[in-house]
Amino acid sequence: MYRVVFPLRRTGVRLAKWSEQSLVTPSCLTLHSGSKPVRQQQLLGSDETIRKFHISSPYQHTEGNKVSVSGSRSDNVKISSDRISLKYGEFEMELLFVWLRDHCRCNTCYSHDTNQRNVQSQKLFTGETPSSVEFDGLVLGISWPDGHVTSYDINWLVNNVYHNHHTDHVDKVLWDKETIESAGLPTVHFREYMDSDEGLWKHLNNLVKFGFSIVTEAPPVHHMGTLEVATRICFKQETHFGPDWTFTSNNERGDTAYSDLYLGAHTDNTYFTSPSGIQVFHVLEHDGEGGQTLMVDGQHCAEQLRSKYPAKFDLLTRTIIPHEYYEEKLRVRSLGTVLSVHPTTGQFLQIRYNPYDRSPLYTVHPDDQQAFYQAYEALTQEVRNQENELWIKLKAGMVLFVDNWRVMHGRASFTGRRLVSGCYLPRDDWISKARVMGLMNL
Ligand SMILES: [Fe+2]
Ligand SMILES: [Zn+2]
């Protein structure tokens, strides 16, 4: 069975019921300390490591203001001129009136049938002071002067207020050659994967944890079989290579992938505004030598860079560079950073690394170019470090899925005919599936 951690229903009415069933979500949350995700429970109370919702105690109803505060846990509520400070277990939240009003979940402000805001009816950004506040430890109830009444489930608040803690549900394994070889390749058997939720969960769990996963023993192989395996997660992402592809080394397209040359570790589609989420590879035939598949964990490389050279890491999260894909009738070009991090947690989000497809560097001021090249070079050292390289020989029946926002791929040069089948899957949709299965929160 897979675990759905936060099946949050954003309804005032249903929230109370949900609260009774699931008292303490915070144990599921993890905080991020430096580059390592650490269980939140281990960190709480440590001033050095915890990054709190920055508010000081005591949490008591402030005498003298006009808002009436009631409820069995009203002493956890403090009202000031523009906000409610709320304490729940170890969580300390600052809830601005304007934010609370913006998130009013009453039936006028929010449709619980479509899970969408009713924007017309909302009176936004006024910073209006509530007329009364009630907190029983599970639900924060607020009455507003114009008659709106809102109930905020405490779990919903914990998961949706501004936060700077790590909230992934799966502890990722950042790997180098040794780590991944001793952990063993993340695999799932074809039948288990195709026939059960557990199998799909296992595959997605591998993808979130390691950035790749292999479906093994897929039946006698043909291109359509690859696609069946691929679309078990979600629909394909069509690109200028078509809805999906089989390719040999015939140099048919303007891309090194269509040759028999060595290909260094890279991510695909760096020339798209949003590169595809997963690349699916299936080597259907190969009658020669070489052609091993290379994988390098981009998140591991990025974290290595962050710990050795924080300023270089930071520069690569801020410097926007172009990538391009040109053919006679194609001029695809994107602008983006080589590394991306979550805006509040600083957690790694994406690597966009493809030295083959970098455009002329017209976006970086000459005064900043030296620093950019030094930072890119330092990252490249990590990418090319043989200790970070995993080489595997794919065979027919092994369908490899690679998280194209995290793990880089490449291949050794080869001889003979090598027929590869595959497609891309869109980022938003595979992540959506991972969220539905309780594997991610970001
Ligand atoms: Fe590629
Ligand atoms: Zn409302």
The residue behind tokens 């390098």 is 296
* Ligand nearest to the Cα of 146, by number: 2
> Are 94 and 157 spatial neighbours (Cβ–Cβ below 8 Å)?
no
Closest CA to 17 of 158, 157, 151: 151
Assigned domain for 246 exists: yes
Q: How far is the CA of 186 from the centre of ligand 1 (A)?
A: 21
CA–chain centroid gap for 257, Å, is: 27
CATH number of the CATH domain containing 17: 3.30.2020.30
Assigned domain for 2 exists: no
- Residue 16: partners with Cβ closer than 8 Å, 6 or more residues away: 138, 139, 151, 153
For residues 78 and 223, state if they share a domain.
Answer: no
For residues 141 and 259, state if they share a domain.
Answer: no
Q: How far is the CA of 279 from the centre of ligand 1 (A)?
A: 8
The range of the structural domain enclosing residue 418 comes to 177-436
- Count structural domains, the chain: 2
pLDDT in tens, 206-226: 999 999 999 999 987 789 999
Q: How far is the CA of 144 from the centre of ligand 2 (A)?
A: 9
For residues 204 and 73, state if they share a domain.
Answer: no
DSSP tag of 414? B
For residues 386 and 290, state if they share a domain.
Answer: yes
For residues 112 and 215, state if they share a domain.
Answer: no
Q: Which has more confidence, 420 or 44?
A: 420
* Ligand nearest to the Cα of 257, by number: 1
Question: What's the rounded Cα separation, in Å, for the pair 268 and 257?
Answer: 10
Question: What's the rounded Cα separation, in Å, for the pair 305 and 309?
Answer: 5
For residues 24 and 144, state if they share a domain.
Answer: yes
Assigned domain for 128 exists: yes
Q: How far is the CA of 55 from the centre of ligand 2 (A)?
A: 27
C-alpha distance from residue 92 to each of 85, 157, 189, 359 (Å):
7, 11, 45, 46
For residues 193 and 339, state if they share a domain.
Answer: yes
pLDDT level of residue 79 (50, 70, 90 thresholds):
very high
Q: How far is the CA of 154 from the centre of ligand 1 (A)?
A: 45
CATH number of the CATH domain containing 352: 3.60.130.10
* Ligand nearest to the Cα of 422, by number: 1
pLDDT of the residue at 65: 52
* Ligand nearest to the Cα of 293, by number: 1
Assigned domain for 166 exists: no
Q: How far is the CA of 148 from the centre of ligand 2 (A)?
A: 5
Q: How far is the CA of 144 from the centre of ligand 1 (A)?
A: 55
Assigned domain for 28 exists: yes
Of 20-24, 178-182, 421-425, which range is least confident?
20-24
Assigned domain for 3 exists: no
Q: How far is the CA of 98 from the centre of ligand 2 (A)?
A: 12
Q: Which of 160, 191, 220 is the last residue of a domain?
A: 160
Residues, Cβ < 5 Å to ion ligand 1? 268
Residues, Cβ < 5 Å to ion ligand 2? 104, 106, 108-109, 148
β-strand partners of 341: 348
Assigned domain for 172 exists: no
Alpha helices in 242-309 (DSSP H): 298-308
> Are 77 and 154 spatial neighbours (Cβ–Cβ below 8 Å)?
no
For residues 114 and 258, state if they share a domain.
Answer: no
pLDDT level of residue 63 (50, 70, 90 thresholds):
very low
Share of the chain above pLDDT 70, in %: 83
For residues 307 and 213, state if they share a domain.
Answer: yes
For residues 235 and 329, state if they share a domain.
Answer: yes
* Ligand nearest to the Cα of 281, by number: 1
Assigned domain for 95 exists: yes
pLDDT in tens, 314-332: 999 999 999 999 999 999 9
> Are 154 and 19 spatial neighbours (Cβ–Cβ below 8 Å)?
yes
* Ligand nearest to the Cα of 357, by number: 1
Q: How far is the CA of 167 from the centre of ligand 2 (A)?
A: 28
pLDDT level of residue 17 (50, 70, 90 thresholds):
very low
pLDDT of the residue at 121: 59
Q: How far is the CA of 230 from the centre of ligand 1 (A)?
A: 17
Is residue 305's pLDDT more than 70? Answer: yes
